[in-house]
Structure 1
Amino acid sequence: MSRTVTIGTLLGLNNRLAPTRMEVTLPNRATAAWLRVATNVDMTADGFLCSRGGFARSAAGGYHSLWADAQDAYAVRDGDLVHIHVRTLAQTVAVPGVGRARVSFVRLPDGMVYWSNGERLGRLQGALAREVTTAAPNPVPVVDPTAGSLPPGRYQLCFTALGPDGESASSEPQDVVLPQGGGIAIHGLKPGMLVYATGPDGEVFNEIAPGDYLSLGNTGAACSTFMLSAMPPGRALAHYLGSLLVARGRFLYLSEPYRYGLTHASRAFIPFPGEITVLQAFDDGLYVCADKTYWIAGDPLNTSPVVVLPYGALPGSLATDPREKTAYWQGEQGVVVARSGGAVSVPQDDALLFAAAVGGATLVREQGGEKHVIAARFDIDPL
Structure 2
Amino acid sequence: MKTIPIGPYLGINNRLPDFALHVDKTGDYLRAADNVDLDNRGNLHRRKSSELVQAMTDAHSLSPDAAYLVRGGVMYAVTLPTYSETLFKTLSNDDPVSWLSENNELFYSNGTDSGRITSGVWYPLGMETPVVQNLSAIGGSLLAGQYQVGITYVNDVTGEDSGISAITVITLSSTGGIRVTLPTTAEGATHVDIYVSACQGSVVMWNGRVTLGTATYDATDDSTLQEHTGEKHYPLPAGDLFMSGASLCSIVNAGNVGRVFVGSPYRYGYYTPANGLIESGGSITFPAPVTLAVGVDGGTYICAGKTYFFPGELSMVQEMVRTTLPFDGVKGTAFVVPDKPVVGWFSTYGIVLADFAGQVSAPMNDVIDLTAPASGVSIVSQSNGILRVVSCGWCMNLDTKAATTYSDFDFTSAGSTYGTKADGIYLIESTGDVEWTVDFGKQDFGSEQLKHLPAVYAGVACAEKISLRVQTQSDDYTYLARSASTELMEQRFDPGKGLRSNWFNLSLSGSTEFDLSRLSFGATASTRRI
The TM tier, using the shorter chain, reads: 0.7 to 0.9
Over residues 319-348 of structure 1, what are the superposed CA-to-partner deviations in whole Å (9 max), with x where a residue is unaligned? 222222322211111000112111211110
SS at match of 2:294: strand
Q: 1:149/1:96 Cα in 2 relative to 1: closer, same or farther (>3 Å)?
A: closer
Deviation at 1:295, TM superposition (A): 1.3
Is 2:377 aligned against 1:373? no
C-alpha distance in 1 between matches for 2:367 and 2:6: 20
SS at match of 2:34: coil
Task: Please name the residue that 1:238 is paired with.
Answer: 242
SS at match of 1:38: strand
C-alpha distance in 1 between matches for 2:122 and 2:108: 10
C-alpha distance in 2 between matches for 1:364 and 1:212: 57
Which of 207, 218, 227 does residue 212 from structure 1 map onto?
A: 218
Superposed, 1:296-311 pairs within 5 Å as 296-300=310-314, 301-303=316-318, 304-311=320-327
C-alpha distance in 2 between matches for 1:85 and 1:7: 48
> Does the CA-based 8 Å contact 2:236-2:249 persist in structure 1?
no
Deviation at 1:269, TM superposition (A): 2.1
SS at match of 1:348: helix
> Does the CA-based 8 Å contact 2:133-2:180 persist in structure 1?
yes
> Does the CA-based 8 Å contact 1:85-1:91 persist in structure 2?
yes
Over residues 283-328 of structure 1, what are the superposed CA-to-partner deviations in whole Å (9 max), with x where a residue is unaligned? 2211111122111112424333211111221001112222223222
What RMSD in Å do the two structures reach over aligned CA positions?
A: 2.8
Over residues 74-94 of structure 1, what are the superposed CA-to-partner deviations in whole Å (9 max), with x where a residue is unaligned? 433343334455776655544
C-alpha distance in 1 between matches for 2:230 and 2:113: 21
Task: Please name the residue that 1:3 is paired with.
Answer: none
Task: Please name the residue that 2:449 is paired with.
Answer: none
Deviation at 1:246, TM superposition (A): 1.4
Q: 1:375/1:186 Cα in 2 relative to 1: closer, same or farther (>3 Å)?
A: closer
Which of 283, 287, 294 does residue 297 from structure 2 map onto?
A: 283
SS at match of 2:323: strand
Answer 1 or 2: which has greater strand percent: 2
Deviation at 1:278, TM superposition (A): 1.5
Superposed, 1:1-383 pairs within 5 Å as 8-22=7-21, 24-26=22-24, 28=25, 32-61=27-56, 62-68=58-64, 73-83=67-77, 85=79, 91-97=85-91, 99-109=93-103, 111-125=104-118, 127-137=120-130, 140-163=132-155, 164-165=157-158, 166-188=160-182, 192-209=191-208, 211-217=217-223, 219-224=224-229, 227-235=232-240, 237-249=241-253, 250-265=258-273, 266=280, 268-300=282-314, 301-303=316-318, 304-376=320-392
Structure-1-length-normalised TM-score? 0.85
Which residue identity does 2:47 align to in structure 1?
A: R
SS at match of 2:61: strand
Q: 1:118/1:241 Cα in 2 relative to 1: closer, same or farther (>3 Å)?
A: same
C-alpha distance in 2 between matches for 1:92 and 1:318: 29
Identity fraction in percent: 27
SS at match of 1:358: coil
C-alpha distance in 2 between matches for 1:52 and 1:356: 22
C-alpha distance in 1 between matches for 2:245 and 2:352: 24
More RCO (CA 8 Å, sep 6+): 2
Over residues 217-268 of structure 1, what are the superposed CA-to-partner deviations in whole Å (9 max), with x where a residue is unaligned? 4x43323475421111112x22233221112122222222221122215453
Which one has the largest radius of gyration?
Answer: 2
Runs of 4+ in 1 over 6 A off after TM superposition: none
C-alpha distance in 2 between matches for 1:318 and 1:206: 43
